[in-house]
Structure formats: C-alpha cells, structure tokens
Amino acid sequence: MNIDDEESDYEIKLWLDPTDKTAYYYAEPEKVYLNEDMNSMFRNMSSLISLNLSNFDTSKVTNMSYMFFNTSSLALLNLSNFDTSQVMNMDSIFRSMTNLTTLNLSNFNTSKVTDMSSMFSDMHNLTTLNLSNFNTSKVMYMNRMFSDMHNLTALNLSNFDTSQVTDMHDMFSNVRNLTTLNLSNFNTSRVTDMGFMFYHMSSLISLNLSNFNTSNVTDMSSMFAEAHKLKTLNLGRMNTNRVTTMEKMFDNMWVLESLDVSSFDTSNVTNMAHMFGGLAKITALNLNNFNTSKVTNMVYMFNSMVTLENLSLPSFDTRNVTTMAGMFGSMEGLKNLNISSFDTSSVRDFRYMFGLGGADTYGHDQVDHLEHIYTSRKFVISAMETGGSDGIFYRRPSLTVGAGCTYVSGTGNPFCIGSTWVVLP
C-alpha cells in the first residue's frame, strides 16, 4: 500500500490491540492508495467482525482475487467508495463470506473484469444479489460463480453478456433454494465446460435452455444431476458433437417427467456412467440416435429408472465398453429390454447388471416384473474378471435360462449367448 502516490515516503503504522482484538492503522495523509495487486489482502481472517475501508483508494488496483476470501465472521461490508474501473480479476473476491446477509455492489465497475470464477461462491446466508449494473462483456471465466449460495432465492442475470465466457463449470451448483432461473439471454457459443453447471439445484422446478449454443462444449458431466424437483427441462436442439463425458448428466432427477435427447450427437462421448440413473418418473426414453462407439464406461447408466417398462437400445455399439456394473439395476418396472446389439467382448465387470434393489430402495421391497431380455451371440463373458458376475440377477427369482443361455461355473448366474432371454416362463 502506498500513501498519496507511488513514490511516497509516508509510512503506514499498523498495530494490534489484544484487549479488543482490533487492528489499527495510522497514516498521515487521509487516503491509502492500494497497489495494483491486492490478491488475498484479508484472506482467511476468519475472526474479523468489522472492517473500515473508507480511506482506501482502489483506483489503481487490477487484481482483487481472494481479497475477502473466508472472512467468515464479517456481517457487514461497505464498498461504496471502491473504484474498480481497472480491476481485471475478481476470482473468489467474496468467496466463503458465510456471515454476510447483504452485499451492495451498485457502484462496481466491472467493464475490464475477465475472471469472475467463484466470485460469490459459498456465501451461504446471502438471499438476494443485485447485479443489474454489472458489465460482463469481457468475462471469460464464470465457473463456480454462484455455487453453494444455499439461501439465494432470487437472481436476475438478464443484463449479463456471456459472449466471451469459456468456462461455466459449477456456475449454479448447490444453489438449493432458487426456484426459477431465466438464462434466455445467455450466449454460450464459446463455452467448453458445463460440467456440474446446475448440479443439486434442488428447488428449481423448470429450466429452458433452448437458446443454448453448446457446439464447443466438451464436458457435460453432472450438468443437471441431483436437481430433485425439476419437472420440465427444455434442451431444444442441443449440439453435443464435441462432448466427451456425460457421466451423471441427468442422475437423480427424481421428478423429471420427460426427456428429449433426440438431437444428441454422442459420437465422441467416452463416459456415460450413471447418465440416466435415478430418473424415477421417466416412462419413455428414445435413444435410437445414440452413437456409443467410443464409450468405455456404462456403469449404472439406467440404474433406478423404476417406472420405465420398455427399453430398446438397437443402435448401441458396446465393443469398447469395459464395465456395465449396475447398468440396468433397480429398474423395478422394466418388462422388456432389447440389448440385441450388445457386443460384450471387452466387458470385465457385469456385477449387479440387472439386479434389483433391497427393501430400503425407495422405501419398499422391489418386485421383479422383467419378462424378456433380447440379446445376441455377441453377449459373451470372455473378458470378465473374477467376481465380475456377482449379483448380476440379484433379487430376480423368476429368471429362467432360455435356449442358448449358459451358467457361469460356480456362480449360479446365467449368461445368454442366444437370441432371446426369456424370463417368467
């Protein structure tokens, strides 16, 4: 920190009074001119309960990243005199200010800011946030910007210019009390990472992303996972041709009533683990357009889709898949399953692939309704590891082996290498 100008000889005297646990500073001039880099200035001062910044001149500051990070006891922060016109980095500036209930940023000039990642992350007690004056035209990073704002109930981003943003990873994750979110103005044409973007937004009821341009996105892992109350999701004609991971993309969206992924190009996806797991209300799922030729992981992919009765996967190319553990597990309502295209020559793990859940799953004892599984002679166990068939038909007592099916020695678990697998004779 400098006094008056960069060449000042004035000194700042700083001392601590242990009796009232207060830090005092004295400077002969009235203003304290802060240097360009104020990164982590008050970082981790978790016992700080009051802060007077009225004499600070921030007109030269370019970096405010982590400036107030984890000042978790501070209940009031007055930044009305802050000049942020030169600031480029606001990464985590207010992160983990868990005791703050209000924050007035109406004077903030953000026209030069490029990094807003984790800017408000972990501000657990903030219920509203007015960013109507924010200029985000140069911002490239918004990852975790609002994540873990547990009590936020209103957020208006209609003024946001996101045309330069490349990273939206975890942007709204764990914003648990927000019921509506309008992103119709968002330009996402440069975004490459949307992983966990809406993760655990457990109060959100509907979400319209029909305007989203996802042509450059490579990561959609857990994008909507754990959005437990989301009933309506409009993906429009979402472009996924560059996406490499869709792990847990829709996992545990318990009340989602329909899902249209007909526009999905999955030709570059390698991970589909848990992708549709826990979609408990979905009764129809059309995946005829799916290209799975590069997928290696399908563990728990459809697990706990408890109301789906018919599932046909005629286009699935599984030659590179190494694990199918729990893939169709806990699908209590399933009656007919067509996996006739499956080539399992690379699969090492089949554990609980078709097994039902125990009595504690969804609060009741799951009942077997499976009638037919259609396979082919390419459903083989040549690559299976020791124990790789454990529980494959757990709690499906009505299973019988049809023509062309065989038992794995010592396990009592049948594997079908014929054209039809018949259950409930």
Token pair of 318, please?
């599984």
Would you state the pLDDT for residue 395?
80
- Cross-strand bridge partners of residue 89: 63, 115
Q: Are 266 and 290 in contact (CB under 8 A)?
A: yes
The position carrying tokens 């080539």 is 343
Would you state the pLDDT for residue 371?
79
> What are the pLDDT digits (tens) for 320-373?
999 999 999 999 999 988 898 999 999 999 999 988 876 554 556 788 888 778
The CA distance from 232 to 198, in Å, is 14
Q: Sign of the C-alpha dihedral, residues 266, 139, 73, 17?
A: positive
* Residue 17 maps to a domain: yes
* Residue 294 maps to a domain: no
The position carrying tokens 């992303």 is 209
The CA distance from 302 to 16, in Å, is 60
Structurally, how many domains does the chain consist of? 1
What does DSSP say about strands 13-17 and 22-26: parallel, antiparallel, or unpaired? antiparallel
* Residue 24 maps to a domain: yes
* Residue 165 maps to a domain: no
Residue 17 belongs to what domain range? 1-33
Would you state the pLDDT for residue 340?
86
* Residue 25 maps to a domain: yes
Task: Give the DSSP H or E segment for 421.
Answer: strand 420-422
Q: Sign of the C-alpha dihedral, residues 52, 56, 59, 63?
A: negative
The position carrying tokens 């991971």 is 245
CA 113 centroid distance within chain? 24
Q: Sign of the C-alpha dihedral, residues 183, 167, 159, 199?
A: positive
Collapsing DSSP to helix, strand or coil, 121 comes out as coil
Single pTM value for the model: 0.90
Would you give per-residue pLDDT tens digits along the chain (425 residues)? 444 455 555 666 666 677 777 766 666 667 888 899 999 999 999 998 989 999 899 999 999 999 999 999 999 999 999 999 999 999 999 999 999 999 999 999 999 999 999 999 999 999 999 999 999 999 999 999 999 999 999 999 999 999 999 999 999 999 999 999 999 999 999 999 999 999 999 999 999 999 999 999 999 999 999 999 999 999 999 999 999 999 999 999 999 999 999 999 999 999 999 999 999 999 999 999 999 999 999 999 999 999 999 999 989 999 999 999 999 999 999 998 889 899 999 999 999 998 887 655 455 678 888 877 888 778 888 898 988 878 887 887 655 544 445 444 444 445 554 444 443 33
* Residue 299 maps to a domain: no
Distances (CA, A) of 396 to 13, 326, 367, 370, 413: 76, 14, 8, 8, 11
* Residue 365 maps to a domain: no
Which amino acid is present at 150?
H
Please give the radius of gyration of the chain, using alpha carbons only, rounded to the nearest integer: 27
* CB contact set of 202 (below 8 Å; sequence gap of 6+): 176, 226, 227, 228, 229
* Residue 11 maps to a domain: yes
